[in-house]
Amino acid sequence: MPCQHEKNIPLTEHVSETLYLCAFIIKNSAMDQPRIVRELQLLMLLANNRYMNKTDVCHHFNFSERTFFRYIDTFREAGFAVKRNEYNVYRIETSTNKMSRHLSELLHFTEEEEMILRCAIDSIDPGTKSKESLKKKLYALYDYKVISDLGLGKRLRQTIHDLTSAIENHRQTVLVGYRSGHSNTTSDRLVEPYAFTPDHDQVWCYELDSQMVKTFKVSRIRKVSILDTEWQNEEHHETGYVDVFRMHGTQRFPVRLRLSVRAASLLQEEYPLSTPFLKEVEGGYFLLETEVCRFEGVTRFILGLYDDIEILGGDDLRTHVQYKIKMLNR
């Protein structure tokens, strides 16, 4: 039965420009479906990007800087005002560009929509595949702070919101009651927060006491206290690389693993950032090719599924795993 509103309704200017964008991207992608998907996902991310710099975006989508700039050129040719700030963070400017503003209105959630979506997801039983699948799809499409809040508890949502406010207003902050996983102690940390890791699991900060750049796990912060003092050490605000196992650092070590279906599924569930680096290969296996900052994270995962994972590349990793096994058997 046809819809009762099915008439020759004229296209609004908003819809016309949105259709123009889709047509432009498809035309310039030579009907390359994977490229079309990547371009649309990148466009959606840039529509409200505040934290992910060029390097973060390239790692997130697993493409080169050259490819990144080619997509940026495509968006600019389509009429979008793509801007870059002093932190090398690219976003689509909506205040002065009508088409960009229409895109923002089309893709973004209002506060009411956020609450409805959050409540709907929270109503699904914890641990069910549909809940996790929905969250992953939303992460894949949007990947910004609103979606990072979905399914989180009230305290964790408040922590993310307070850190976001401190970052946007360039304020020094006290991480009250931070529980350190290394020293197993709880203390207050005076920091200058300036960026989140891609999945908002950790926040990049310059710690004043140690005078070092560190990442702090958001879930280990009891409370965020924003001070009136502005940043004093912005020249030290550098974001390193965060690998798929949530380890961070400046060094990178290549790893190549063959995983069973079970191991690949668990990897994506526990470490969603690994998904772009996984591909199915012959024999019913999956291949993970990526880089890690340290071996602790990947080693823990390998030892937990030792019979399901084979190290194909990375002699340093193989040596580290063998050392850990030797220590466990002492």
Q: If you write DSSP's letter for every residue of 47-58 in order, what string do you get?
A: TT-SS-BHHHHH
What sections of 246-314 are H helices per DSSP?
Answer: 261-270, 296-304
Domain boundaries, the chain: 13-107, 111-148, 154-239, 248-328
Bridge partners of residue 286, in order along the sequence: 259, 280
DSSP one-letter code for 89: B
| CATH label, 13-107, candidates 1.10.10, 3.90.930, 1.10.357, 3.40.50 | 1.10.10
* C-alpha dist (Å) from residue 226 to 179, 223, 256: 18, 10, 42
pLDDT tens-place values along the chain, 330 residues long: 333 333 333 333 443 444 445 555 444 544 455 666 677 778 777 776 655 678 878 877 777 888 888 888 888 877 777 888 777 788 876 555 455 455 555 555 544 555 555 555 555 555 555 555 655 555 444 444 444 444 456 677 788 888 988 988 899 999 999 998 777 789 999 999 998 876 677 888 999 999 988 889 888 999 999 999 999 999 888 877 778 888 877 788 999 999 999 999 898 888 877 888 899 998 889 999 999 988 988 999 999 898 999 999 888 899 989 888 888 777
pTM for this prediction: 0.45
Whole-number Å distance between alpha carbons of 167 and 35? 33
Whole-number Å distance between alpha carbons of 76 and 61? 20
Residue written as tokens 């019913």?
284
Give yes or no for a contact between 290 and 271, defined as CB atoms under 8 angstroms apart.
no
CATH node for 154-239: 2.30.30
Give yes or no for a contact between 277 and 288, defined as CB atoms under 8 angstroms apart.
yes
The predicted structure's pLDDT at residue 149: 46
Class of 248-328 per CATH? Answer: alpha beta
Give pLDDT tens digits for 21-48.
555 544 454 445 566 667 777 877 777 6
The predicted structure's pLDDT at residue 59: 77
The predicted structure's pLDDT at residue 130: 58
Whole-number Å distance between alpha carbons of 107 and 31? 23
| Length of the chain counted residue by residue | 330
Give yes or no for a contact between 309 and 236, defined as CB atoms under 8 angstroms apart.
no
